[in-house]
Amino acid sequence: MSDGLFLIYARASNGVIGKDGKLPWHIPADLKRFKALTMGKPMIMGRKTFDSFPSPLPGRRHIVLTRDRDWQSEGAEVAHSRAEALQLAGQGQIAVIGGAEIYALFEQEAERVELTEVHSEFEGDTYMPALDEAVWQEVAREDHPAENDRPAYSFVTLERRRESAK
Ligand SMILES: NC(=O)c1ccc[n+]([C@@H]2O[C@H](COP(=O)([O-])OP(=O)(O)OC[C@H]3O[C@@H](n4cnc5c(N)ncnc54)[C@H](OP(=O)(O)O)[C@@H]3O)[C@@H](O)[C@H]2O)c1
């Protein structure tokens, strides 16, 4: 486990996290929370998630995993393996911001998950499994009701259980 490494994602109640390279919903408060929790920290992401941004996000380093040795992009620090990404990120807080392939690659390293539960089902093509309660313990929750077209959602913080062998 890496001290200070956390996963951050929003997940629908049917597991969907993405559709056609984008988020399937628009929840401004979630984008605001994402900004607050990642600002000033190195972010590790997959090349597809990087490509989903219109441009790099201000105030944060973008460490981008790709298997393509020729890939480069303005604002991206390229890594070709998990170890290389961790080395580039250095010590301290590190935000792993997706997508599904990258969460799977780093879950074992994470000490915390900042999850947004979107309390609705969405169509999509990218999924995250439910977190294992034997490994992850909920330590904070903030519930928000549905409003007009926007679904209800909850901001949830989970920490790795100390006794967890994973
Ligand atoms: N709801 C949320 O919170 C959230 C967060 C993030 C993303 N998303 C959504 O998720 C979708 C993208 O997720 P995704 O799982 O399809 O893609 P992704 O994880 O963003 O990126 C996958 C890419 O990462 C690279 N990669 C993966 N494993 C690697 C490894 N071991 N070594 C080196 N490179 C590696 C490969 O890039 P190359 O193909 O270049 O080799 C691979 O194609 C989008 O719809 C996005 O909007 C949602």
Span 56-73, pLDDT tens digits: 999 999 999 999 999 999
pTM, full prediction: 0.97
Q: Which of 57, 130, 139, 39 is nearest to 93 (CA)?
A: 39
Pocket of ligand 1 (CB under 6 A): 9-10, 17-18, 21-23, 45-49, 52, 65-68, 71, 80-81, 97-102, 105, 126
Residue 26 pairs in a beta bridge with none
Mean pLDDT across 8-25: 97
Under the banding of pLDDT at 50, 70 and 90, the label for residue 3 is: confident
Q: How far is the CA of 144 from the centre of ligand 1 (A)?
A: 28
pLDDT value of residue 112 = 98
Mean pLDDT across 3-26: 96
Q: Which of 75, 54, 79 is nearest to 64 (CA)?
A: 79
pLDDT value of residue 164 = 52
Q: CA–CA distance from 28 to each of 23, 100, 119, 135, 147 (Å)?
A: 12, 22, 15, 30, 12
Q: CA–CA distance from 46 to each of 28, 133, 154 (Å)?
A: 23, 26, 25
Greatest C-alpha distance within the chain = 46
Residue 90 burial by Cβ neighbours in a 10 Å radius (0-12, 13-18, 19+):
exposed
Among protein residues, the one with the nearest Cα to ligand 1's atom 9 is: 18
105 Cα nearest atom in ligand 1: 31
What CATH number labels 5-160? Answer: 3.40.430.10
Mean pLDDT across 39-49: 98
Q: What's the mean pLDDT when you consider all of the chain?
A: 96
pLDDT value of residue 163 = 72
d(CA 124, CA 120): 12
CB 130 within 8 A of CB 15: yes
Choose which residue among 9, 31, 38, 48 to substitute to test ligand 1 binding: the one with the highest number of ligand atoms within 8 A of its C-beta.
48
pLDDT value of residue 58 = 97
